[in-house]
Structure 1
Amino acid sequence: MMRHKSLPLTETTYLILLALIEPGHGYVIMQKVEDLSNHEVKIAAGTMYGALDNLLKQKWITTVPSEDKRRKVYQITEEGMEVLQAETKRMENILELAHSMMKGR
């Protein structure tokens, strides 16, 4: 499998895509990212909305209908899921390599 041209992803982008496997609005995304990262990654609102705009332009996420008209709800797209899976596989390969190189040390 050929490496996706957009890899590697930033940690923030990866976590946002992961968070959006289930639809969510901005505040929910910020909370999920913090939870997924064991409170190590905190995204400021400006940073997150910039990232969401970028992900929308790349068609990795989309907006979905919301019951609350004041909040935009986002969800990962099929293309976004492919990128997320490719990045996950890339990181798994790196971990496997690291584990095998450090065995016995």
Structure 2
Amino acid sequence: MDISEQTFLILSALADQPRHGYAVVTEVDEMTGGRIRLRAGTLYGALDRLVTKGLIAPDHDEVEKGRLRRFYRLTEAGAEALRAESRRMASAVRLAEERLNKRAARNAPNLGTIG
């Protein structure tokens, strides 16, 4: 199953421990060096879809500073989807690197022999 970059990042953020929504946003921001910044509406819509698909599940609720925070965890199905997508992406990277290396070799100047 191909998954979007956003889904990949959310699943990755939950891979090592359960997190609440804001912690997922912070983790994705850190993982991407600020390149991807999830907005609340986008995040919670994605979390709902991932729960429906069985890729994540609510873990527990905590009250922090008077606010209820729902924590989510990666399910086994979510871990399998993340692992499969990681392998697919790694394969695509290898293929791209091989092609770039062939291109570089083909375009390298022919210096000939010295002597």
* 2:90 equivalent in structure 1: 92
Task: State yes or no: 1:66 paired with 2:64.
Answer: no
Superposition CA RMSD, Å: 1.2
User: Please, what TM-score do these two structures have when normalized by structure 1?
Assistant: 0.89
The CA deviation at 1:67 is 3.7
Q: Residue 16 of structure 1 corresponds to which residue in structure 2?
A: 10
Larger RCO (CA under 8 A, 6+ residues apart): 1
Matches within 5 A, 1:3-42: 6-7=1-2, 9-21=3-15, 22-42=17-37
Alpha-carbon offset, residue 87 of structure 1: 0.2
Q: For residue 108 of structure 2, what is the aligned residue in structure 1? A: none
Q: Which structure shows the bigger proportion of residues in strand conformation?
A: 2
Distance 1:102 1:27 in 2: 39
Give 5+ residue unaligned stretches, structure 2. 105-115
Q: 1-side partners of 2:52 and 2:24: how far apart?
A: 18
Percent identity over the alignment?
36
Q: Which has the larger radius of gyration?
A: 2
Give distance in 1, aligned partners of 2:33 and 2:56.
Answer: 24
Q: Which residue of 2 aligns with 1:56?
A: 51
- SS for the counterpart of 1:29 is helix
